[in-house]
């Protein structure tokens, strides 16, 4: 796991940027405190075509595999973030088929060797999480890619000087005109999307001009062609009837077991997160078979109804593994938020970021890698809202004229009256009513909240192209497909990557494996969400009955819940009020509206906690990245694991 920063010059003047790249790569120190490398990329004529910067967290082949990594007598240079779990098999195949030489024992060299012999097709052979950049000195051409589901990030910025690529946006800000232009540099459309979705959707960011390579995408760049991006992978659901359910359940279980085994390949200690749900419990149970002494980690609070520690402890006892819990309170949450937002790059208003930050901090005291359960819900149908098309099917099946009449009736039913929401949603097309798991501010809300509301910017700008790709699927599966491209990569994976990397901890997600998806993709809807039940991801639960404790099989998902609702009405009220009062974001959002929402929440008029948190995170982000009035308290020396400083920095 690492941090990368690369620059390719449009005019062969990359040597002028060495100092700036060397400085900028330091803001990625938390991603890789074990080693630092900065190399100039030169052509055969000595032209300085680029600069590679790399921060390494050593996981595999710890003593070797220094990056940037050359291959084929220096023809190629690679910088890579992630892990390739089938690297041993790829190295053996390349050696057997082509006599490929290897100078290291690591996974990075499998990528660049594969590119040498297979070309761009190498991405289809990789099993893992990755973002990488390769420069071909002979062709004077860059190639790079991001993994299937967007586990690892890759940002890019193109200027008159050339193109910059980095693991985190903050490493590109020194080179962006938008970053120093104040509010003029903020992408207004993506701010609107953030207020709706609670995250900034790919491929954009809140800084105009800085983009993200999308999940399952690759790119090429040369001085003549500039950035050319294409999608190399698209997840395809193809549900089909099942003749033998037990055979399917066994296939799910054994495919996941094999994925966990592959994800445990490391030359450093591996642990696991453990919450109260089936996903993380299953990962721990399967990992224990390969590493009986695995350490597990969880987080909780002294607030009734929110802490998962007791249930996680019961599971740990049942499985015979050690659980290391940590507790946080409102003061820890308030103190950590500026640093959390700095690590995020763009605001993500998911309160679960905070407990994840602290459980990662605790885990990093004991291990370098942890396994986690992200992805199971999107693959196997785990969110309760996925049942909505089943409950609304009777209304959806009515003729258009009848639906129109029912829609009119719903408008005159007073708010809060039973049946109003059912009629509204039942008479609204799926493409218009579902845009992912988080729905913060409505368009009516934003008309009041945003200083410069644009009615032409809608959430359908994000979701319509995704719906178009899966038009042939049933409504439930379409919702899952939309979540793969919105909620999963915009929220779930961003918080997993940033909150773990904040502490130089690598998170691995065995559910988000291409072989696991291949099995999940064929499960029919009635086995994901049985029509005469309220169960979710039913097939997965049946597959894991032999694996997880009985009390966990049908337990409702919580996933590190956070008591922001309670704290914002109490201990955190004054802190939140002061953030709104002192914010310089008033020319973008009406801060009096934010304060009104907070006050209503305190008085118990409405549960505005999620909306208030969304605005708080944005105001903190604005103070850190735009006003620069708030010091997040992050420096190289303050990075987590400061006992593991960079061992060297080379410029060649």
Beta bridge partners of 166: 5, 155
Among 292, 278, 298, CA closest to 546: 278
10 Å CB burial of residue 61 (0-12, 13-18, 19+) is middle
Contact 398, 406 (CB under 8 A): yes
The residues facing 589 across adjacent strands are 450
CB 121, CB 111: distance < 8 Å: no
- Do residues 52 and 79 touch, judged by C-beta distance below 8 A? yes
C-beta of residue 4 within 8 angstroms of C-beta of residue 79: yes
> How many CB atoms are located within 10 Å of the residue 317 CB?
11
d(C-alpha 479, C-alpha 436), whole Å: 8
Give the residue carrying structure tokens 């996941």: 256
Residues 6+ apart with CB under 8 A from 308: 275, 276, 298, 299, 300, 558, 560, 561
- Cβ atoms of 503 and 208 within 8 Å: the answer is no
Residue 207 pairs in a beta bridge with 186
DSSP class per residue in 501-570: HTTT-EEE-TTS-HHHHHHHTT--HHHHS-TTS--SSHHHHHHTTTTS-HHHHTPPP--S--THHHHHTT
Distance CA 306, CA 565 (A): 11
Give the C-alpha separation, 511 to 506, whole Å.
Answer: 16
Both structure tokens of 528: 């994901």
Helix 188-197 vs helix 609-622: angle between axes, to the nearest 10 degrees? 150
Round to whole Å and give the CA distance between 546 and 384: 24
Which is nearest to 645 in space by CA: 4, 53, 34, 32? 34
First to last CA, the chain: 23
Half-sphere exposure of 208 (CA within 13 A, CB side): 12
Q: Which of 2, 27, 218, 619 is catalytic?
A: 2
**Does an H or E element contain 625, and which?**
none
Residue 233, burial from CB neighbour count under 10 angstroms (0-12, 13-18, 19+): middle
Pairing of strands 2-9, 162-166: antiparallel
| 35, 69 Cβ separation under 8 angstroms | no
User: Among candidates 21, 94, 229, 218, which has minimal Cα distance to 649?
Assistant: 21
Task: With beta carbons less than 8 A apart as the criterion, state whether 31 and 168 touch.
Answer: yes
| Residue 2 known to be catalytic | yes
Backbone angles phi, psi at 6, to 5 degrees: -130, 145
Active-site residue numbers?
A: 2
């Amino acid at each position: 796991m690492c941090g990368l920063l690369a620059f390719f010059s449009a005019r062969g003047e990359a040597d002028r940027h060495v100092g700036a790249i060397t400085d900028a790569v330091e803001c990625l120190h938390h991603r890789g405190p074990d080693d630092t490398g900065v190399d100039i990329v030169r052509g055969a004529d000595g032209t300085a075509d680029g600069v590679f910067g790399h921060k390494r967290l050593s996981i595999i082949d710890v003593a070797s595999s220094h990056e940037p990594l050359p291959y084929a007598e220096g023809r190629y240079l690679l910088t890579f973030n992630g892990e390739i779990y089938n690297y041993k098999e790829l190295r053996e195949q390349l050696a057997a088929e082509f006599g490929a030489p290897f100078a290291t024992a690591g996974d990075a060299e499998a990528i660049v060797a594969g590119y040498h012999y297979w070309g761009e097709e190498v991405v289809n052979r990789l099993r893992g999480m990755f973002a990488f950049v390769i420069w071909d000195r002979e062709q004077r051409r860059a190639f790079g890619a991001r993994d299937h589901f967007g586990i690892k990030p890759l940002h890019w910025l193109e200027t008159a000087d050339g193109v910059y690529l980095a693991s985190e946006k903050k490493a590109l800000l020194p080179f962006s005109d938008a970053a120093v232009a104040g509010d003029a540099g903020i992408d207004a459309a993506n701010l609107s999307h953030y207020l709706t979705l609670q995250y900034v959707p790919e491929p954009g960011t809140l800084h105009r001009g800085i983009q993200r390579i999308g999940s399952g995408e690759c790119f090429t760049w040369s001085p003549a062609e500039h950035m050319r991006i294409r999608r190399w992978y698209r997840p395809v659901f193809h549900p089909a009837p099942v003749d033998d359910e037990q055979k399917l359940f066994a296939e799910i279980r054994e495919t996941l077991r094999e994925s966990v085994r592959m994800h445990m390949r490391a030359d450093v200690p591996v642990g696991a997160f453990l919450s109260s749900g089936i996903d993380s419990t299953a990962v721990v149970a399967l990992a224990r078979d390969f590493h009986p002494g695995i350490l597990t980690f969880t987080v909780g609070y002294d607030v009734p109804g929110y802490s998962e520690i007791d249930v996680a402890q019961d599971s740990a006892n049942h499985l015979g593994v050690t659980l290391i819990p940590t507790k946080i309170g409102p003061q820890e949450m308030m103190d950590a938020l500026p640093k959390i937002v700095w690590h995020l790059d763009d605001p993500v208003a998911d309160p679960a970021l905070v407990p994840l930050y602290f459980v990662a901090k605790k885990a990093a005291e004991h291990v370098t890698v942890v396994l986690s359960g992200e992805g199971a819900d999107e693959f196997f149908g785990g969110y309760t809202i996925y049942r909505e098309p089943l409950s609304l099917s009777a209304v959806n099946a009515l003729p258009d004229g009848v639906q129109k009449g029912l829609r009119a009736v719903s408008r005159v039913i007073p708010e809060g009256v039973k049946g109003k929401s059912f009629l509204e949603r039942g008479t609204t097309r799926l493409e218009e009513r579902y845009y992912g798991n988080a729905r913060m501010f409505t368009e009516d809300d934003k008309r009041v909240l945003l200083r410069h509301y644009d009615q032409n910017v809608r959430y359908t700008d994000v979701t319509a192209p995704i719906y178009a790709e899966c038009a042939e699927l049933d409504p439930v599966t379409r919702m899952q497909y939309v979540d793969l491209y919105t909620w999963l990569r915009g929220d779930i994976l961003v918080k997993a990557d940033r909150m773990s990397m904040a502490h130089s901890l690598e998170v691995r997600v065995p559910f988000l494996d291409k072989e696991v998806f291949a099995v999940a993709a064929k499960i029919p809807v009635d086995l994901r969400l049985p029509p005469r039940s309220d169960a979710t991801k039913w097939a997965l639960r049946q597959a894991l009955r032999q694996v997880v404790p009985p009390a966990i099989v049908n337990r409702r998902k919580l996933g590190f819940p956070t008591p922001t609702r309670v704290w914002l009405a109490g201990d955190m009220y004054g802190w939140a009020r002061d953030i709104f009062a002192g914010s310089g974001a008033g020319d973008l959002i009406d801060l009096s509206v934010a304060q009104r929402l907070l006050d209503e929440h305190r008085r118990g008029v409405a549960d505005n906690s999620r909306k208030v948190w969304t605005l708080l995170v944005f105001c903190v982000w604005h103070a850190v990245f735009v006003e620069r009035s708030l010091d997040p308290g992050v420096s190289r020396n303050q990075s987590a694991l400061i006992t593991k400083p960079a061992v060297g920095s080379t410029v060649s």
